[in-house]
Amino acid sequence: MDISGTKKRLLLLLEYLYKNTDEEHQASTNDITLYLQEQGFVIDRKTLRNDLNLLLSMDYDIVTVKSSPNRYFWGERAFELPELKMLLDAVSSARFISEDKSRQLIRKITSLAGTQQVPELKRHITAIGKSKSDNKSLYYIIDTITNAINLGRKIQFQYVEYNGRKEKILRNNGEVYVLSPYVLYWNEDYYYVLGYSDKRNRVTAFRIDRMKMPEIMEEPAVEQPDDFDITAYSNKVFQMFDGKEVEVRLECENGLMKYVIDRFGLDIETEELTEDIFVAKVAVELSPTFYGWVFQFGGKIRIVGPDEAMQGFQRLVDSFTPAHS
């Protein structure tokens, strides 16, 4: 018995079924034997049936459709077609992934589908029209930060921003930032690392695509504060802009509840004021970003307390109004 030949035949059979079949594209006994014959293996129906039974005994999900002749297809895959489409959407639209890396990932994701499914995935890929990161070291940065988190070490890095001529420059004349990283966090199309800043003496966030290649330090990371909660932090910081944290009362029209929940979650405290109005109490950090979010609703969401939040919003509005001479 040629064991090496049997192994090769089984591998070819697996490859054929995985690449060429699914529930909508089934292969008959004749299809399979013809394919194997083209690869140099002439077998009868009994041998094919024994091969398929062996693969089934090894938990390969090969489905048999009883007919004359029988038909076969690969059943459950690691990723179903809708799941692959979601992954493609995420990769295509994620701003922190560069164009080149997006194309590489799309090719790899597409290769997980059967041959018959690939055309449908290609039709699904569309141009999102969003600007993409030009930081080609992103994967190495993420890997370094992940290693630092696993090792419980601090990282040090420089931070990049743009000047008025769209030129990259180092923030604060090349200052080296030191951070005890806790978690990587994807927010509003950007990727961040959240951790404890030695300089600021609190948890803060940095955008990964704006970091120069970080280095893992020998110094142990500061332990994560007991009261640190990533969801609460995201709601308070509000798109990663710093400001003073306060509990704000928002008076909102009922039709805007979905936007309030999208932003602050289901656990926020709300109270029905009238049939058309409710009040939400939310903990945020007062910042132009928070005020800008309120402003976009054109008065249908109003800040009604505390005074410092109301005054801060009014100062921002006044800053856009030319002073009278």
- The arithmetic mean of pLDDT across residues 70-78, rounded, is 80
CA-based nearest residue to 39, from 68, 65, 10: 10
pLDDT(155) > 90: yes
Predicted pLDDT of residue 240: 40
Instruction: Report if residue 275 sits inside a domain.
Output: yes
Whether omega before 69 lies within 30 degrees of 0, making that bond cis, reads: yes
219 and 146 both lie in a single domain: yes
147 and 219 both lie in a single domain: yes
- The CATH number of the domain where 151 resides is what? 2.30.30
152 and 215 both lie in a single domain: yes
Instruction: Report if residue 133 sits inside a domain.
Output: no
Buried b (16+ CB within 10 A) or exposed e, 180-195: bbbbebeeeebbbbbb
Mean predicted lDDT score pLDDT of the chain: 82
In this prediction, what percent of the chain has a pLDDT beyond 70? 86
For residues 211 and 157, the answer to whether their CB atoms sit within 8 Å is yes
Confidence of residue 218 (pLDDT cuts 50, 70, 90): very high
Per-residue tokens: 154 = 């601090």
> For the chain, how many structural domains are there in total?
4
Predicted pLDDT of residue 325: 45
Strands 71-74 and 277-286, sheet pairing: unpaired
40 and 9 both lie in a single domain: yes
pLDDT(239) > 50: no
Buried b (16+ CB within 10 A) or exposed e, 135-163: beebeebeebbeebbeeebbbebbbeeee
Most trustworthy range by pLDDT among 14-28, 146-160, 245-259: 146-160
pLDDT(142) > 60: yes
Instruction: Report if residue 265 sits inside a domain.
Output: yes
38 and 100 both lie in a single domain: no
Instruction: Report if residue 30 sits inside a domain.
Output: yes
Confidence of residue 307 (pLDDT cuts 50, 70, 90): very high
52 and 95 both lie in a single domain: no
Distance CA 54, CA 52 (A): 5
Residue of 194 and 129 predicted with greater confidence: 194
191 and 266 both lie in a single domain: no
Instruction: Report if residue 285 sits inside a domain.
Output: yes
- The CATH number of the domain where 272 resides is what? 3.30.70
- The arithmetic mean of pLDDT across residues 78-86, rounded, is 75
Query: Which one-letter DSSP state was computed for residue 323?
Result: P
Per-residue tokens: 260 = 């309030």
91 and 105 both lie in a single domain: yes
Confidence of residue 52 (pLDDT cuts 50, 70, 90): confident
Give the CA distances from residue 4 to residues 7, 9, 10, 34, 204, in Å, rounded to whole numbers and listed in that order.
Answer: 5, 9, 10, 21, 58
Least confident interval from 227-231, 256-260, 293-297, 315-319:
227-231
Q: Which domain holds residue 293?
A: 234-319
For residues 262 and 238, the answer to whether their CB atoms sit within 8 Å is no
Instruction: Report if residue 130 sits inside a domain.
Output: no
Helix (H, G, I), strand (E, B) or coil at 289: helix
217 and 250 both lie in a single domain: no
Predicted pLDDT of residue 177: 94
DSSP of 176-238? PEEEEEEEEEEETTEEEEEEEETTTTEEEEEEGGGB---EEEEEEPPPPPTT--HHHHHHHHT
Confidence of residue 20 (pLDDT cuts 50, 70, 90): confident
Distance CA 67, CA 311 (A): 76
In this prediction, what percent of the chain has a pLDDT beyond 90? 21
Task: Give residues with Cβ within 8 angstroms of 159, minimum separation 6.
Answer: 170, 171, 172, 175, 177, 206, 210, 211, 212
Q: Find residue 220's DSSP bridge partners.
A: 153
For residues 238 and 188, the answer to whether their CB atoms sit within 8 Å is no
Predicted pLDDT of residue 151: 94
